[in-house]
Amino acid sequence: MRAGESIVFDESKPTLLWLIPRNGGAPISFPVSTHFSFHHANAYEDEHGRVVLDSASTPRLELGSPSGTPDAPPLWETVEYNTLPSATLWRYTLDPASGASSAREVFRRYVDFPSTHPRTSAQRHRWIYAATGGESGGIASPFKGVAKIDMSDAAQHEVWLAPHGAQFAGEPAFAPRAGASDSAAEDDGYVLLPLIDGARGGRATVCVLRADDIAAGPIARVELDTYLPHGLHGAFVPDLAPSADEIERATTLMKLYARKSREWNVVDGSFSGMGFKSLFQKGVDGR
């Protein structure tokens, strides 16, 4: 069975969110509005002892056609985005003391891969950065850019979309500004956004946007001479600074991979709960 065939989504039942105490206490379940979520932005405990969870949630789970056969056309040739369930940003508030819970849609635009400044992990956050589609109003569409959502007032949001119709966005990653103190503004840094550029023969661009002015668009672009596929998941690593020799070796490997890939009829990959297992796993350090 394919991964999508082994899961059944029951829309008639509520979704359960579980809190599991680290001290070994009994887990607590909270029924909330029926939804599915692949990706959470962050969670924290507020001053009232409630747990606040921000998540990209969709009203139902859909992993493509479960009846596909090996000779069926690929999903990207048959998918109709406007019929797919749309993930929008929701906030769930869970009260362990009373067992009460609430759920509200915060940002009604198609988003996924939400993230925050790493400094706010498990702490209160204000800003969320997420990949977003080109359509507004919660309609599913291919990812075209990045949205910055103000969780204190979601009406105060910013969106930047790639200008070319053949450019499609990957997962944004927040990069804190070098030298910024712990007391610096939460949006003192940059958002790195990969774009697959069909107008450049499928090559990729990494866009750098100021986190405090997303709507202004990229302040820098790194044009790659190779294809950078969409992945699960991206991250910014502050201490990774490969040498020129390491970059040159990695470039040689990628060019070899690109040449070999044109000789293959089918490129296959393995799906796991943590993402996709690449066929080609050599990094800049040669491992």
Does the pLDDT value for residue 174 go beyond 60?
yes
Considering only residues 236 and 99, tell me which one the structure prediction assigns the higher pLDDT: 99
% of the chain exceeding 90 in pLDDT: 51
Which residue type, as a one-letter code, is found at position 81?
Y
pLDDT tier at 91 (50, 70, 90 boundaries)? Answer: very high
pLDDT value for 27: 95
pTM of the full structure: 0.80
User: For the chain, where are the E strands, in sequence order?
Assistant: 15-19, 28-32, 36-45, 51-58, 88-94, 101-107, 109-115, 127-136, 143-150, 158-161, 167-169, 173-176, 189-197, 203-210, 218-223, 270-272, 275-277
β-sheet bridge partners, residue 57: 88
Model confidence pLDDT, tens digit, residues 242-256:
788 888 888 888 778
